[in-house]
Amino acid sequence: MSNKTKYSIDSKGFYGEFGGAYVPEILYKCVTDLQQAYLPIIESDSFQQEYRALLRDYVGRPSPLYEARRMSEKYGCRLFLKREDLNHTGAHKINNTIGQILMARKMGKTRIIAETGAGQHGVATATVCALMGMRCEVFMGKTDVERQKTNVERMKMLGAEVHPVTTGNMTLSDACSEAIRDWCCHPQDTYYLVGSTMGPHPYPDIVARMQSIISEEIKQQLMEKTGRDYPDCLVACVGGGSNAAGTIYHYIDDERVRIVLAEAGGSGIDTDRTAATMHRGTVGIIHGARSLVMQTADGQIEEAFTISAGLDYPGIGPMHADLAQRGRTEILAVNDDEAIYAGYELTRMEGIIPAIESAHAIAALSKISFSKDDIVVLTVSGRGDKDVQTYLNNKQMAKEYGQF
Ligand SMILES: *Cc1c(COP(=O)(O)O)cnc(C)c1O
Mutation probe of ligand 1 site: the residue of 97, 125, 154, 243 with most atoms within 8 A of C-beta? 243
Residue 238 CA, ligand 1 centroid: distance in Å = 7
For ligand 1, atom 2: residue with the closest CA: 310
For ligand 1, atom 4: residue with the closest CA: 239
Q: Which ligand 1 atom sits closest to the C-alpha of 85? A: 13
Residue 25 CA, ligand 1 centroid: distance in Å = 31
**Residue 148: its pLDDT value, please?**
87
pLDDT in tens, 48-89: 999 999 999 999 999 999 999 999 999 999 999 999 999 999
Residue 196 CA, ligand 1 centroid: distance in Å = 8
pLDDT in tens, 318-363: 999 999 999 999 999 999 999 999 999 999 999 999 999 999 999 9
Residue 26 CA, ligand 1 centroid: distance in Å = 30
**Residue 118: its pLDDT value, please?**
87
For ligand 1, atom 14: residue with the closest CA: 310
Average pLDDT over residues 90-107: 98
Residue 275 CA, ligand 1 centroid: distance in Å = 13
Mutation probe of ligand 1 site: the residue of 82, 213, 242, 390 with most atoms within 8 A of C-beta? 242
Q: Which ligand 1 atom sits closest to the C-alpha of 121? A: 1
pLDDT in tens, 268-309: 999 999 999 999 999 999 999 999 999 999 989 998 999 998
Mutation probe of ligand 1 site: the residue of 85, 89, 92 with most atoms within 8 A of C-beta? 92
Question: Looking at the annotation, which residues are catalytic?
Answer: 93, 115, 381
Residue 246 CA, ligand 1 centroid: distance in Å = 11
For ligand 1, atom 5: residue with the closest CA: 239
Q: Is residue 2 predicted with pLDDT exceeding 70?
A: no
Q: Structure pTM?
A: 0.97
Residue 92 CA, ligand 1 centroid: distance in Å = 7
Q: Which ligand 1 atom sits closest to the C-alpha of 211? A: 9
**Pocket around ligand 1: residues whose beta carbon is below 6 Å from it?**
91, 93, 120, 196, 237-244, 310-311, 355, 357-358, 381-382
pLDDT in tens, 193-227: 999 999 999 999 999 999 999 999 999 999 999 99
**Residue 398: its pLDDT value, please?**
82
Contact between 96 and 195 (Cβ < 8 Å): yes
Q: Which ligand 1 atom sits closest to the C-alpha of 239? A: 8
